A and B are shown apart, each in its own frame.
Chain A
Amino acid sequence: GAGVSQSPSNKVTEKGKDVELRCDPISGHTALYWYRQSLGQGLEFLIYFQGNSAPDKSGLPSDRFSAERTGGSVSTLTIQRTQQEDSAVYLCASSLQGWNTEAFFGQGTRLTVV
């Protein structure tokens, strides 16, 4: 597609349930990032994929969070046993070659844990 696509756009889940968030990056972009934005806050780095290299997982807040990127394209962010503090907008971005190339963001997934 023309831009970064995320699904679903909105997700309401019960506390304790698992959720999966999907990101389709721009075709040809080797780098993919996940960020979290809580209400009225800045962007918190979660994880970074670059080509076939091992992902940088240093921003994942707990072991309930995991992400994978299959075939160097689509990525899935999984949150297990969701908690209310996980409620936020999860943003995905991709760039052509990595941190030093411009990142383009998707529309985000608004996650609400009730």
Chain B
Amino acid sequence: ELKVEQNPLFLSMQEGKNYTIYCNYSTTSDRLYWYRQDPGKSLESLFVLLSNGAVKQEGRLMASLDTKARLSTLHITAAVHDLSATYFCAGSNTDKLIFGTGTRLQVFP
């Protein structure tokens, strides 16, 4: 059964700094998703990564996928307060969509 783990669970970072959130998964995943959740809100889709070596960027966020290492990363460049949220990765195979525990990101001045 597919299991997805994220780290760190909580990240407090200063504006302007860079950091990476890691997402490991246990078995083959057909694709990897990243979602953002603001407090009290639902999940917003950020990236869909389809194949090994895939890299996608949107603003200050860049996601990558290494299927051999079963690892996806979400890199934050020059963080700003608006990025404060909880970020989830999720993997899927023919069974179901499984979410990681989430990384709560807090960006402070």
A residues within 8 Å of B by Cβ? 33, 35, 41-43, 45, 48, 56, 58-59, 91, 93, 99-100, 102-108
Which of B30, B35, B42, B43 is within 8 Å of A99, CB to CB?
Answer: B30
A103-B97 in contact (CB<8A): yes
Q: Give A20 to B97 CA distance when docked, in angstroms.
A: 24
Interface centre among B43, B93, B98 (most CB of A within 10 A): B43
Q: Given A99-B93, A102-B48, check contact A42 B43 (CB 8 Å).
A: no
- Whether B41 is near chain A, meaning CB under 8 Å from some CB there, is yes
Q: Which residue of B lies closest to A33 (CB)?
A: B97
List the B side residues contacting A59 at CB < 8 Å: 96
- Whether B84 is near chain A, meaning CB under 8 Å from some CB there, is no
Q: Produce 1/0 per residue, B37-70, CB < 8 A to A.
A: 0000111110010000000000000000000000
- Whether B94 is near chain A, meaning CB under 8 Å from some CB there, is yes
Q: Produce 1/0 per residue, B63-102, CB < 8 A to A.
A: 0000000000000000000000000101011111111111
A106-B42 in contact (CB<8A): yes
B96-A42 in contact (CB<8A): no
Q: Give A107 to B94 CA distance when docked, in angstroms.
A: 26
Q: How far is the CB of A40 from chain B (nearest CB, A)?
A: 8
List the B side residues contacting A56 at CB < 8 Å: 95-96
